[in-house]
Amino acid sequence: MVMECDAVIVGTGPAGATVAEVLTAAGWSVVMLEKGRNHLLSLEAPFGPLGHVSNDELKMHHRHFLGPDPWLEPRTFRREESDGDRIYTGDVNNLPSTVGGGGMHADGKLPRFRENDFHARSERGPMDDAELVDWPVDYDELEPYYAEAERVVGVAGDANANPFAAWRSGPYPMPPGADMFCAVLTSEAATKHGFHPYRAPSGVNSVEYDGRPACNNCGFCAYFGCPIEAKGDPVAPLRHALRTGLCDIRPESYVTDVLLDGTGRKARGVRYLDVNGDAHDVNARHVILGAGAFETPRLLLRSQIGNPDIVGRFLMYHFQTFALGIFPFRLHAHRGRAVTHLHDDPIVPDDLALAAARDAGLPWFRGGIVEHGGASHPISEAIHLPPGLEHTRLMLASPMRDRMAAFTMQGEDMPQATNRIDLDPHVVDAWGIPAGRVTYSSHRHEVECSKHWAPRLEAVLRDAGATHTFWATSPPLPEHAARRRIPNPSPISRHVMGTARMGSDPTTSVCDPWQRLHDVDNVVIADSSVFPTSTGYGPTLTIVALAIRASRALAGLDPLRSIRPSGPAA
Amino acid sequence: MPVWLTEHEHAVVAAAADRLIPPYEEHPGGAALGVADYIDGLLSAFEVDPPRIWAGGPFSGRAGGESSFDQFIELSALEELAWRTRIEGSKGMVERERNGAIIGWQQQYREGIAELGRDFLDLAPEEQDARLQQHREFKRLLYVHACEGAYAAPEYGGNRGLTGWTAIQFDGDVQPRGYTDEEVAGRA
Ligand SMILES: Cc1cc2nc3c(=O)[nH]c(=O)nc-3n(C[C@H](O)[C@H](O)[C@H](O)COP(=O)(O)OP(=O)(O)OC[C@H]3O[C@@H](n4cnc5c(N)ncnc54)[C@H](O)[C@@H]3O)c2cc1C
Ligand code: SF4
């Protein structure tokens, strides 16, 4: 079977879905190929909900309902080459493999990056053993795309709440939603510590929006799909694209290769395997890769396109620091959107943080947003407890769930050439294709930054009323990793970035500032593979903003512009 | 009547579950919570069609809406391969042994229960604990499944009468009712 279309899009997550909406609105025909199943929306008009996702911890969280099943799609991990071929096989940063991609699981804190994130290298200066660079696009150019992204996804937030936020051309499309009790408590304490917590901009409806209802705070949010379509996941852009009649979504279609024409400089389409394992070609004028920053480089490597010195390298996550506090009373963090407040203070270091960086022999360090949340689900709580009477006592008193408040700092990760995704030499997936392999060790920057901030966050929790506090990191600090055997040593971060970085120089980057491959320019990368740095913010709003920019340019639409409001400087 | 486990095996699993999750105050033990039924339902998941792997959605009916958790969701051919391999083991079949042979849960239970001893049910609780401790891998598997059986939705066979959730003051699934803004922000 051969199919023809203007663009073939690999992946239906936030990146691919955004591109589909923009291109179909511009009159292009698109075919979307998604390796996972469809549990999101009917593919027949009027494209209503399927009702498959539910408040079911076992199914959604422990039985891989949205995929990928780590047995069908194993990934492998090692810290460095000296570890040998791998030290772990299984779930490595698995984001859902399903129509809607990681957007289904995400609980959608959607902040913008700050102005100076786009000038990381020129504003901060170099960091040893890291390839810190400036972005080839800056905030002022991206601002209208951020505004459009917030409108398309549906972001609820308060424009004046965060003193460190970048300038904005207008308000959020919706006011913020309900505040969680534990997040209010920890925010009050954080304020007393001189920090600046604010109500998180969230891709979750606080009011009815775009034909979808307001969130009812069910609490089965992070790692779940939304049973009532209140989340700003790809359901809205995919439905809009389908309604044009120009979008053909094919679930259970696993793309194996980008196909080139005789010149080797143009793609003519892609090849995919259907549910029976039969191969099909889709011919297209343009190929859009939105497979996520793990699968996109895997596909490039297999297809042998993209700058071979760079593809897969500069893999970045967020270095996660968890400060946890146990309270003498119940916090019911299972009610609400998982996280309702943030603070950015570790991104804008104070004198203490600057001194700590210098003491550690670093020129500076940058942490990341701190998420105010708690723990929510009992099976996850239970399996981490010891069996026996201790189990029942602890489940009744619930220090590790109902009485726990958590800070998660999403620390900025340094881009290092040695941190990379490549193809495992032996392990294969259920289609017989080499598994993706991660080689990853944290830079001293992240480690030192985490060690500085963790006790400061713990102190906030104590002032909020916690009677016991502790902290942990993912990946583990080097000294902890050496001490005990960890079943899965890979970072649990679901923020994956940098594996096909963009830039103006074809020798040091994979794609150009419009996200086209330098060597095959009708292939566009729409996901966070293109990020030159990780920043300390969740990636998804920036993925969507960049995808709107790149696909509008592709369709020949005028660039969006915005005006910085005058008046008192923020 | 258990489906995959024998009556005796079912009784051993229930007794072991009561040692891993012993009753305490208002919290029932693993036996009363129906952990053995949950495990039997998992081991016999493919005896029913669609298999008892993923409950349906979007609502259970417990918090409004029509009940649909009891209508299980079909698996794709690949998903069936993965879940059969987990439950039944790879048994030398090429498509199940891509990255090596797998011993399935059915075999792990059959052998694990046998290794706990014919007399397991007659032992004093401390002796049962000692037996379980001698078979750490099986104990771990049992514990993870016991936790699932205790606190998963009752459609999977455990959490009998929702007693797992009520004991720990967890409401379970709450769609389509959800929580009011006051219930989210308030102290109680
Ligand atoms: C629990 C959780 C919470 C999160 N919270 C936040 C948050 O608060 N803020 C934030 O910014 N981000 C958050 N994220 C991250 C967010 O989900 C990702 O950044 C986002 O989904 C990335 O979008 P994407 O479209 O680039 O890739 P993905 O969402 O990963 O989508 C890629 C899609 O491509 C498909 N695919 C891959 N390879 C192939 C192939 N060869 N053939 C066909 N299809 C293929 C995949 O199956 C997948 O569906 C969270 C993630 C999780 C899991
Ligand atoms: S908390 Fe809100 S957005 Fe999240 S799953 Fe529940 S209803 Fe949906």
* Closest C-alpha residue for ligand 1 atom 4: A106
Q: Given pLDDT bands bounded at 50, 70 and 90, which one contains residue A3?
A: confident
List, for residues B161-179, the tens digit of each pLDDT value. Answer: 999 999 999 999 999 999 9
d(CA A101, CA A97): 6
From residue B159, give the alpha-carbon distance in Å to each of A332, A379, A422: 21, 12, 44
- Chain centroid to CA A523: 22
- Measure A101 CA to ligand 2 centroid, in angstroms: 17
> Could you tell me if B8 lies within 8 Å of chain A, comparing CB atoms?
no
B86–A387 C-beta distance less than 8 A: no
d(CA A17, CA A12): 5
Neighbours of A181 (CB within 10 A): 24
Q: Indicate if the pLDDT at residue A567 is higher than 80.
A: no
B53–A382 C-beta distance less than 8 A: no
Q: Is A31:A251 a contact under the CB 8 Å cutoff?
A: no
The predicted pLDDT at position B24 comes to: 98
- Measure A291 CA to ligand 1 centroid, in angstroms: 8
Q: Indicate if the pLDDT at residue A569 is higher than 60.
A: no
Specify the CATH number for A1-72+97-106+111-154+233-317+497-561; select among 2.40.160.20, 3.50.50.60, 3.40.605.10, 3.40.190.10. Answer: 3.50.50.60
d(CA B23, CA B167): 11
Does a structural domain hold residue B179?
no
Does a structural domain hold residue B40?
yes
Does a structural domain hold residue B19?
yes
Partner residue opposite B57 with nearest CB, options A178, A219, A227: A227
d(CA B147, CA B145): 5
Q: What is the mean pLDDT of residues A391-409?
A: 98
Q: Is A436:A97 a contact under the CB 8 Å cutoff?
A: no
Task: Output the CA angle A551-A553-A554, nearest 5 degrees.
Answer: 60
Q: Where are the domains of chain A?
A: 1-72+97-106+111-154+233-317+497-561
A549: part of which helix (H) or strand (E)? helix A540-554
List, for residues A437-491, the tens digit of each pLDDT value. Answer: 999 999 999 999 999 999 999 999 999 999 999 999 999 988 877 666 778 899 9
Q: What is the mean pLDDT of residues A406-429?
A: 98
List, for residues B104-136, the tens digit of each pLDDT value. Answer: 999 999 999 999 999 999 999 999 999 999 999
* Closest C-alpha residue for ligand 2 atom 8: A226
CB contacts, 8 Å: B55 with chain A: 54, 56, 58-59
Q: Indicate if the pLDDT at residue A49 is higher than 50.
A: yes
CB contacts, 8 Å: B139 with chain A: 387
Partner residue opposite B57 with nearest CB, options A53, A383, A396: A53
Q: Given pLDDT bands bounded at 50, 70 and 90, which one contains residue A411?
A: very high
CB contacts, 8 Å: B39 with chain A: none
d(CA A415, CA A420): 10
d(CA B66, CA B89): 37
d(CA B90, CA B15): 29
Which residue out of A40, A56, A60, A231 would a mutagenesis test of the B interface target, given it has the greatest number of B Cβ atoms within 10 Å? Answer: A56
* Closest C-alpha residue for ligand 2 atom 6: A218
Structural domain count, chain B: 1
- Measure A337 CA to ligand 2 centroid, in angstroms: 6
List, for residues B69-101, the tens digit of each pLDDT value. Answer: 999 999 999 999 999 999 999 999 999 999 899
By DSSP bridging, strand A254-260 and strand A75-78 are unpaired
List, for residues A156-196, the tens digit of each pLDDT value. Answer: 999 999 999 999 999 999 999 999 999 999 999 999 999 99
Pocket of ligand 1 (CB under 6 A): A 10-16, 33-36, 95, 97-98, 101-103, 105-110, 222-223, 254-255, 290-292, 295, 299, 494-495, 527-528, 538-540, 543
Q: What is the mean pLDDT of residues A85-92?
A: 96
From residue B154, give the alpha-carbon distance in Å to each of A59, A381, B34, B48: 12, 18, 9, 17
Does a structural domain hold residue B44?
yes
Distance, in angstroms, between A340 CA and closest chain B CA? 10
Q: Is A70:A64 a contact under the CB 8 Å cutoff?
A: yes
List, for residues A282-317, the tens digit of each pLDDT value. Answer: 999 999 999 999 999 999 999 999 999 999 999 999
A336–B179 C-beta distance less than 8 A: yes
Beta pairing partners, A269: A259, A283
The predicted pLDDT at position A516 comes to: 98
Amino acid at A61: H
Q: Is A200:A232 a contact under the CB 8 Å cutoff?
A: no
Of A405, A409, A415, the residue nearest A353 (C-alpha): A409
Q: Which residue of A has its CA nearest to B129?
A: A388
Amino acid at A383: I
Partner residue opposite B156 with nearest CB, options A58, A72, A74: A58
B183–A180 C-beta distance less than 8 A: no
Q: Residue B62: which domain range?
A: 7-170
Pocket of ligand 2 (CB under 6 A): A 204, 215-221, 224, 226, 228, 230-231, 337
- Measure A95 CA to ligand 1 centroid, in angstroms: 5
Tokens, residue A497: 């970035």
The predicted pLDDT at position A568 comes to: 54
Distance, in angstroms, between A182 CA and closest chain B CA? 8
Distance, in angstroms, between B172 CA and closest chain A CA? 8
The predicted pLDDT at position A1 comes to: 57
Contact partners, residue A278, CB within 8 Å, separation at least 6: none
Residue linked to tokens 């290794």: B115
d(CA A527, CA A541): 11
Q: Is A290:A15 a contact under the CB 8 Å cutoff?
A: yes
CB contacts, 8 Å: B98 with chain A: 428, 430, 432
B73–A52 C-beta distance less than 8 A: yes
Of A234, A282, A16, A230, the residue nearest A104 (C-alpha): A234
Q: Given pLDDT bands bounded at 50, 70 and 90, which one contains residue A570?
A: very low
Q: Is A54:A227 a contact under the CB 8 Å cutoff?
A: yes
Partner residue opposite B168 with nearest CB, options A227, A275, A396: A396
CB contacts, 8 Å: A69 with chain B: 78-79, 82
User: pTM for the full model?
Assistant: 0.98
Average pLDDT, chain A: 96
Q: Is A508:A354 a contact under the CB 8 Å cutoff?
A: no
Distance, in angstroms, between B8 CA and closest chain A CA? 22
Neighbours of A267 (CB within 10 A): 24
* Surface of B (46-75) touching A: CB under 8 A: 53-60, 68-69, 73
Q: Is B63:B174 a contact under the CB 8 Å cutoff?
A: yes
* Surface of B (77-106) touching A: CB under 8 A: 77-79, 81-82, 85-86, 98-99
Please state the ipTM of this predicted complex. 0.98
Distance, in angstroms, between B40 CA and closest chain A CA? 16
d(CA B171, CA B60): 13
